[in-house]
A and B are shown apart, each in its own frame.
Chain A
């Protein structure tokens, strides 16, 4: 098991965002957390990468507890977080943004290799390498954010709403890329509101509702579930 989250509790002030949720991600999988706004999806990801304080529970990565580490240490263990809203550094060029992704690495040749890799995967980024990050379109920024995440050469990639604000064609493209990244050996934990797309690329999924996991299982099973279809896939049960 690559990632194990046990009884995770998170509060924002008096409001309980997560009610002791537990789930796991196995090596080589794409696992998705789906749920509506405010269900606690982003909070869960932010807890794993230590951007949030955790009030209870445990997070284990590769057999080691990482619950009390700082965010900048988590990256070094091989967990790369592509945050919600992309968080591109607008005043740095595309190339510099990507190089920021390799901040924790010092193997020059390896970094160069990863860079070539990102450029073949996202040719658009290569074209715009010298442009400022802030001048990219929404879709390009999402590609840049994913590319930056890959530059750390992670074992586990945390993706937070990669489809947010993108046109349907771009959403297809992004999910296609996610699928291919996974096939090349990167494990992915994907948080999505677009349950339809998420359940197509993911192997397994968990359904979050107001801070609790209410359903889990293989994607195909979730896709066939009446409740899921009614609540997240826009179908009438």
Chain B
């Protein structure tokens, strides 16, 4: 009973949030520029939750998340350009294409590299990010439409806020249901103690690959949405530095906290823009500020800002639990 009430409250909350944001957009408080940033924040939420499943919940350290966002963006972009005469259907199809491409590549890459542990896995995923980045930089030599270092243009744009909002809400629900499913618990078990997971019948290899594939597919969705939000796709948007941004969102938010990832993703996206406004001509120094934020948070709260917390409506019936703070490896 209690739980149902919470879920209903959460749904009401989502609708209220939508109305508020929509009102802000209609009244012009959030101008077209900030709308794009808002969409971008929601894209971050989706991609961030993908990495949260991979690293936060399953403990598989990935330094190449942006590569999968990039694969999603470029594949969806190409599809949308090719099928632009189908209008919204072409765009919707492109989202599916982005999810599938990133998911399949994630699976294929995951099978060989997920044998590696922590730091080594980080290096392998980092390497993969460089491969994808260089591939995109030189993509025009194979496919002129992809533009290479010049970037890809011509993807039909739809900055309709609803698309991003609905996608983000769906992904939050999906992530919640996954994390608290039997397979989600298997992921947590793998993160905490592989032997414990193994003796109850969990296959570490299969579970890691499953989590990695789901996480990469979500990165693909983030990328697919991204290509419709910005008229110009550039390999630099999917470089190693962008992977670090995703990592920051997940670690700063608190490993193993969905709400933490969501809030931090939105906060981070807006912070980047806010710094642009506040710092003005000193914008080049923004890196110093991110770094300071990171250092301070890790010293003061090594478990992340929301580590050890979870929004109550994101925790289903079985044994009400708050995640214990996890300090990353």
Contact = CB atoms under 8 A, between A and B. Distances in A.
B195 interface: yes
A69 B195 CA distance: 16
Contact of A92 (B188, B195, B326): B188
A89 interface: yes
Interface string B294-329: 000000000000000000000000111101101000
B318 A100 contact: no
B321 A96 contact: yes
A89 B202 contact: no
Contacts of A88: 196
Interface in A71-120: 71-72, 75-76, 80-83, 87-96, 99-101, 103-104
Interface residues of A, number: 34
Chain B interface bracket (under 10, 10 to 19, 20 to 34, 35 or more): 20 to 34
Given A91-B256, A99-B182, A103-B182, A83 B195 contact: yes
A97 B172 CA distance: 24
Contacts of A129: 319
B199 A93 contact: no
Interface residues of A, dominant DSSP: mixed
A71 B207 CA distance: 14
Contact of A130 (B188, B189, B192, B321): B321
Given A51-B198, A83-B199, A148-B200, A95 B318 contact: yes
Contact of A93 (B189, B321, B326): B321
Contacts of A96: 185, 318-319, 321
User: Which interface residue of B186, B197, B198, B201 has the most chain A CB atoms within 10 A?
Assistant: B201
Contacts of B196: 83, 87-89, 100
Nearest to B325: A91
B181 to A, nearest CB: 11
B324 A90 contact: yes
Contacts of B324: 90-91, 132, 134
Interface of A: 49, 51, 70-72, 75-76, 80-83, 87-96, 99-101, 103-104, 129-130, 132, 134, 148-149, 151-152
Interface of B: 182, 185-186, 188-189, 192-193, 195-204, 256, 318-321, 323-324, 326
12 contacts: A71-B199, A72-B203, A75-B200, A83-B195, A83-B199, A90-B192, A92-B192, A96-B318, A100-B197, A103-B186, A103-B202, A130-B319
